[in-house]
Structure 1
Amino acid sequence: MRRSCRRSRLGDTAIAAVTVVALGAGVWLLGSGAGSHRPPQPSVAEGRFEPGGERLAAAALAPSPPVRIRIPAIRVDAPLMGLALTSSGSLDVPPAREKNLAGWYQAGTLPGETGTAVVAGHVDNAEGPAVFYDLGALKRGATVEVDRRDGTVAVFTVDAVEVYAARDFPDDKVYGAAARPELRVITCGGGYSRTTGYQGNVVVFAHLTGSR
């Protein structure tokens, strides 16, 4: 079963009128009786991301496609596939059956370049938790590592972790242009409905702080 997560629009640095869909249906919650064990959600203690805020950042890296994402604090270690747009203008998603697979928007900014790069992945599928199930538990200051095809690793530091209902999703804040290398990691989250699935998104805001 595929459920829409929310409608979202990327800024001029990427694309416009993009819909992120089917990043989590919650079907397993109902089928397994695990409704009380829903994905963790960000706490207010993780702060609010302020675009343009004072944050030390590393110099941008030369362009190179990403191949893998690692978030040690929540035990994420997953390959990345390129995501394009569907015929309806929405952002495609990794196959739901691939629980440990994430995707990056390949027509947008490459992770490590100046601008806002976007990575998306499922929170769950019909069988259980998927790659970004614990994304909402991530803490400010945690590390996100992106392996790149040229052999380098782009190292990002988390600035904030936020959750938005679909009706309140701040498109410009999440997808807007950035003057430094930044990363957004997105999955479904927020409230949950038995009929329509998850009602919003968990968004991790991070910026480049190093490479190796």
Structure 2
Amino acid sequence: MPSRTPHRFRRTTALLTAVAACVALAGCSSAEPSASSSASSSAPGETESGSSGTSGSSGSTASTGPTGSTGSTGSSGTDEPDQPAPAHVSIPSIGVRSALMDLGLNADGTVEVPPAEKGMTAGWYTGGSAPGAPGPAVLIGHNDTRFGRAVFHDLKKIRKGAEVLVRDTAGKTLRFTVTGKETVDKKAFPTEKVYGPTKDSTLRLITCDGEFDAQGHPVDNLIVYGALG
């Protein structure tokens, strides 16, 4: 039986290629109202509420991953078929509690983010690893939307050592510990650091941060890094 490692390597390479082409990743909002749509998306790290695209429905819809690979709630978008998909995230220290919707890629190759009208709901990018499986699991949430405060509004307050609890569809709760955070310019998004392969299960929480540009888009991304255990 072939080893899983080559498959994971190819999937990670495809993921990095797709993400590198898009620049960065985050759930963001525009300072200006925009037309409602079923999803918010843009080049990852330049996402804005109300842009076109399609969004995975909460905890149920499989999304198309990088280079056409398909991640489903059964396979969690990874090479670990027994790893359940994540269903809920909570961060007790900053009062975050949210179901997780599935997020994939839009037709133009950009990464989906939760729709603006579901700003208080975070999403899991199915093209990456599932929490608990080797590699980085990416959770995306808005800071604010045109509807107001959103799920990751207080993410900037999180501190090193804080717990992030992720419950999967089997009812198991995984405990991640925050190892660090950084604010980066979207034009200098650390793709390899965020999406690159990791031996152990790791977590990335991403949202927008910083001042607004002339078009009303936040110029930075806030990235929180976590490790299982």
TM-score bucket of the superposed structures, by smaller chain: 0.7 to 0.9
Cα pair 1:111 1:183 within 8 Å, conserved: yes
The partner residue of 2:157 within 128, 132, 137 is 137
Give unpaired runs (5+ residues) of structure 2: 1-10, 34-79
The reply to whether residue 79 of structure 1 matches residue 99 of structure 2 is: yes
Q: Distance in 1 between matches of 2:220 and 2:187?
A: 8
CA distance 1:13–1:151, shift in 2 (3 Å): farther
Cα pair 2:31 2:216 within 8 Å, conserved: no
CA distance 1:14–1:177, shift in 2 (3 Å): same
Q: How much has 1:186 moved relative to structure 2?
A: 0.3
TM-superposition CA deviations, 1:18-71 (whole Å, max 9, x none): 34365222348xxxxxxxxxxxxxxxxxxxxxxxxxxxxxxx9x5110000000
Give unpaired runs (5+ residues) of structure 1: 1-9, 29-59
TM-score, normalising length: structure 1: 0.73
Cα pair 1:24 1:125 within 8 Å, conserved: yes
The reply to whether residue 93 of structure 1 matches residue 85 of structure 2 is: no
Question: Matched residue pairs, number?
Answer: 168
Aligned ranges for residues 178-197 of structure 1 at < 5 Å?
A: 178-197=198-217
Which residue number corresponds to residue 203 of structure 1?
223
CA distance 1:163–1:21, shift in 2 (3 Å): closer
Q: How much has 1:147 moved relative to structure 2?
A: 0.7
Bigger relative contact order, structure 1 or 2 (CA pairs below 8 A, ≥6 apart): 1
RMSD value, Cα? 2.1
Secondary structure of 1:17's match?
helix
TM-score, normalising length: structure 2: 0.68
Whichever structure has more helix as a proportion of its residues is 2
Q: State the percentage of identical aligned residues.
A: 35
Q: Distance in 2 between matches of 1:206 and 1:197?
A: 27
Q: How much has 1:191 moved relative to structure 2?
A: 2.7
Which residue number corresponds to residue 185 of structure 2?
165
TM-superposition CA deviations, 1:66-98 (whole Å, max 9, x none): 000000111100000110100010111111111
Cα pair 2:183 2:209 within 8 Å, conserved: yes
CA distance 1:169–1:11, shift in 2 (3 Å): farther
Whichever structure has more strand as a proportion of its residues is 1
Which residue number corresponds to residue 122 of structure 1?
142
Which residue number corresponds to residue 29 of structure 2?
24
The reply to whether residue 174 of structure 1 matches residue 194 of structure 2 is: yes
